[in-house]
Amino acid sequence: MANAILQQVEALRDLTESQVIPHLQATVVFVNLADRDFEDWDKAMNDGTHGQFYRFLTPSYGRPQNQLGVAFSTLDSTQNQAFVAVDTPISDGFVLSDEQLATFPKKSIYDNFAKGKLIGLASKIDKVVRDQLQGTGFRWFANGNKTIPDETNTSFPLLTESLAEWDTFGEALSDVTNVVIPKRIAPKIIASMQNQFVPVRNDQIRKPGEIGMINGLQGFNFYSTNIIGKFNVGTVALKAPKAVISSIVNSTTPFNATSQFSSDATTIVLTGLTDGDIVKKGDLGDIGSAGGVADGQDALELIRPSDGDNTGIDGQFIVVDGGEVGAGGGNPAGEVSIQIFPRITATTGTNLDATVSRAVVTGASGDKVQFVSRNHYKAPIFYTKFVKFANPRLGTKSPFATYSHPLTERMKMTVRMYHGSQLEGSQTGTIMDCFVGCRTIPIGVGHILFAA
């Protein structure tokens, strides 16, 4: 019996390695679309240890001048780098009795235990990347309508408007643009586009990441997934106010610290609201757009990072730290203090930190804040090079039999599995675990919004 149990454990591991891992690699949409361009990547990911941070370079931008031989002293000398923290442990497992191992076919054990557990683990890993995308992208597209009518972006003309807005912002160092939409939205889009936008044919050879892929459109690659849930906006957003800005304070530290936002956000105080209402983390909005522009001012617009030109796109933002209006949130009556991203810095000369076309005007006659006022799905749109994912290979779990497959350019995710049994008793356990981290460069991340 002992020999039969040992054979079952080995066979289970072999099945997992040969069938489950490749399947997982093809189903983690966000992981497949992320980038791993780190310093000494191969050594760092496969040396059997995990570090706290992995360093990567961020894009460098310029402000071209009309002259020959620009002086070095006028050039930006900032060393653009950031770090992704490997800070999320994920694990699962299962326990089988000796009787189960000895009597059940290995395929049955594989289907009912290992496969389901690993698929759940892969989904959890993919959500780490999803959460970073949905929590950091400050650009959003809903056909210019903050109420998101039912048909927005599910028809061909409206969706192409959103894609055009994305391209208008521009990105000098861009690569392939990915759009990941909720599975429940995909049929509506496909139906509206007919032959212009069809699922990948079943008879094509699928490469890693193509499961869930929909054919490209206008240079965009579309994918679908079932892990994009509905976002319920805060009660302030639901009431759709044009909120008065009483103060706005920018962080002074540039975006190269290990923290995603604390050094690169803007604190803004809104007034004239109803006590008890909430601005939620993840709410989307804009400053100084149509109907909310300060007296005597042009609309406040995002500027193009590559050259500093105005884009014509509203001064969009995402809330990275919300709050409750009034005393319940520690604020004066009718007020709420929130943090938004990006840092709202006006363009002046060759200022590379600038994000908007002019300074924000506060007060009753100043710029107003408006939020997306309808519950929605956030479909991430992003450049691969602007989403960094780290998943170092974990070492042997001595004294247990351990398998941890190496990472390659094709195999972008690794999970360690180890087996063991109690000295007393009749149970054999399998543990599956990993350590992951993700960070985005937010200027290359946004959302296409669909009504929920």
- Condensed to tens digits (0 to 9), the pLDDT of residues 31-84 reads 989 887 765 666 666 665 555 677 777 777 666 677 776 666 666 555 567 778
Q: Residue 11 falls within a domain, yes or no?
A: yes
> Does residue 155 share a domain with residue 251?
no
CA angle 437, 438, 439 (to 5 degrees): 135
Q: Residue 131 falls within a domain, yes or no?
A: no
> Does residue 239 share a domain with residue 222?
no
> Does residue 278 share a domain with residue 211?
no
Q: Residue 448 falls within a domain, yes or no?
A: no
Q: Is the pLDDT of residue 193 over 70?
A: no
- Note the pLDDT of residue 235: 95
- Note the pLDDT of residue 128: 94
> Does residue 86 share a domain with residue 42?
yes
- Condensed to tens digits (0 to 9), the pLDDT of residues 89-134 reads 999 988 888 888 778 776 777 677 777 788 888 889 999 999 999 9
Which tokens in the block code for residue 376? Answer: 């929605």
Interacting residues of 93 by C-beta distance below 8 A, sequence separation 6+: 117, 429, 430, 431, 432
State the sign of the Cα–Cα–Cα–Cα dihedral 66, 71, 72, 77: negative
Q: Residue 109 falls within a domain, yes or no?
A: yes
The domain boundary residue, chosen from 353, 385, 417: 385
> Does residue 351 share a domain with residue 280?
yes
Residue pair 342/302 in contact (Cβ under 8 Å)? The answer is: no
Which tokens in the block code for residue 67? Answer: 């002259």
How many angstroms separate the CA atoms of 228 and 33, rounded? 15
Structural domain of residue 392, as residue ranges? 2-64+80-123+388-437
The domain boundary residue, chosen from 354, 385, 416: 385
Q: Residue 75 falls within a domain, yes or no?
A: no
Q: Residue 130 falls within a domain, yes or no?
A: no
> Does residue 140 share a domain with residue 37?
no
Q: Residue 148 falls within a domain, yes or no?
A: yes
> Does residue 417 share a domain with residue 335?
no
E strands of 99-152, at which residues? Answer: 139-141
Which tokens in the block code for residue 161? Answer: 């408007």
- The CATH number given to whatever domain includes residue 366 is 2.40.30
DSSP code string of 363-386: STTS-EEEE--S-EEEEEEEEGGG
Q: Is the pLDDT of residue 140 over 50?
A: yes
> Does residue 113 share a domain with residue 242?
no
Number of domains, the chain: 3
- Condensed to tens digits (0 to 9), the pLDDT of residues 286-304 reads 998 866 888 888 888 888 8
> Does residue 37 share a domain with residue 12?
yes
Interacting residues of 346 by C-beta distance below 8 A, sequence separation 6+: 354, 356, 357, 358, 359, 360
- Note the pLDDT of residue 175: 65
- Note the pLDDT of residue 358: 87
- Note the pLDDT of residue 104: 78
- The letter for the amino acid at 189 is I
> Does residue 185 share a domain with residue 99?
no
> Does residue 399 share a domain with residue 370?
no
> Does residue 362 share a domain with residue 238?
yes
Q: Residue 351 falls within a domain, yes or no?
A: yes
